[in-house]
Amino acid sequence: MLPFTRPEEVMVAIPIVLAAAAAARGPSSGTRVTPEIVAPVPRRGTAIWLTLLAAIGLWELIALFSAPREDHPTLSSVADWIMSVHAGRAVMFLLWLTLGAVVAGGGLSEKIR
């Protein structure tokens, strides 16, 4: 598989940069955040997410610098393999929509507490 071309890298980077800028800017000036509105972050949930992200990041780095790719797959190569057929693409799309609905609805954070 060939790496991204420069135009593809730019098109992938644009939404990332915009999202990072929006997140760094914080709430809009009309939004008022008070301590009563913001719930405390549960330490258990934070530790679980940080451990999960660290494990995935470590796996990605090890797989990225190991060869051959068939023996050391990254998440993107596994996703490419799954989505190489229409049924896999449909399942991944439905999982993506479901995850988005759960995260947007706050259901995932409620289950971890």
**pLDDT at residue 38 in the model:** 60
**pLDDT at residue 74 in the model:** 82
Run of H or E residues at 30: none
Question: CA 96 to CA 92: how far, in whole Å?
Answer: 6
DSSP classification of residue 39? P
Query: Is this prediction's pTM over 0.95?
Result: no
Report domain extents, the chain: 6-112
Q: Is the pLDDT of residue 13 over 70?
A: yes
**pLDDT at residue 101 in the model:** 87
Question: CA 38 to CA 53: how far, in whole Å?
Answer: 24
Structure token pair of residue 106:
């706050």
pLDDT in tens, 20-79: 888 888 766 666 656 566 667 678 888 998 999 999 999 888 888 887 877 888 888 888
**pLDDT at residue 100 in the model:** 86
Residue 60: closest CA among 77, 81, 42: 77
